[in-house]
Amino acid sequence: MAQFNTSQRIGDIVALFPKGGEVFKKFNIDFCCGGNRPLSEAIQEQGLDEKEIINKLEEAYSESKKLAGEVDFLKMESRRLIEYIVNTHHAYLNRVLPEIGELTAKVLRAHGANHQELFRVHKLFGSLKTELEEHLIKEEELLFPLLKEYENDKSESKLNNINRVMQETENEHEGAGDILKELRKITDNYSVPADGCRTFQLAYYLLEELEGDLFQHIHLENNILFKRFI
């Protein structure tokens, strides 16, 4: 029996089957900020092969059923999910953002004359870094404490406050997603030119790794955690 169909929302598919995010990433289907759309909409917009995508999802699902121990984020209680996000995704960003910042500056200085798109890469990443650093503080110092407090005080006023901050957070997620999409476009899917040095290669590798981690990070918040408080 088929597990997936194109009428399902993209975010719901990844919430039920986290490995589905890897399939969507291969087809450049946005499963974090664009997770509320039905899969059919993304397929139609991007001119993709519906049968191929469903088959890839079914194959990946069958493979995952053979493996034990996969984390079920849907069943994870909110407090534990918050701790997972902070300890995994926030910790990753705090470590890698300064490193990528230094690398993009070095690559720009060494290769900017011959690859002028690097000026745009450097500027875009600088904006992304600033936005994410502020975003992490907002989540850790404001939003996540509110979500934890709500467990003991389920008042309407507190829920209204939570939804206001969550909406701001989702808007910030969308802004970060737009920057990542532009970075991927202007780097031609992070293709390193023939004259690119090892620093160039490392910078693009980490930018692409950052994209994957951030997509999973945003997915856990938008499509699983936040929906519990709407």
What is the chain's pLDDT, residue by residue, as a tens digit (230 residues)? 567 888 888 888 887 777 778 888 888 888 877 778 889 998 888 888 888 888 888 887 777 666 545 678 888 999 999 999 999 999 999 999 999 999 999 999 999 999 999 999 999 999 999 999 999 999 999 999 999 998 888 888 889 999 999 999 999 999 998 999 999 999 999 999 999 999 999 999 999 999 989 989 999 999 999 999 88
pLDDT given for residue 132 in this prediction: 96
Among 219, 191, 221, smallest CA distance to 207 is for 191
State which H helix or E strand residue 168 sits in: helix 156-186
pLDDT the model gives residue 68: 47
Give the model's pLDDT for residue 230.
80
**Sign, CA torsion 219/140/85/228:** negative
Asked if residues 167 and 229 have their Cβ atoms less than 8 Å apart, the reply is: no
Token pair, residue 117, equals 């798109």
Domain boundaries, the chain: 10-65, 78-229
Question: What pLDDT score does 180 carry?
Answer: 93
Q: What angle do CA 227, 178, 59 make, to 5 degrees?
A: 65
Q: Helix (H, G, I), strand (E, B), or coil: what is residue 14?
A: helix
Question: What pLDDT, on a 0 to 100 scale, did the predictor assign at position 101?
Answer: 97
CA angle 184, 108, 174 (to 5 degrees): 30
Token pair listed for 82: 């918050």
> Closest Cα partner for 82 from 211, 229, 210?
229
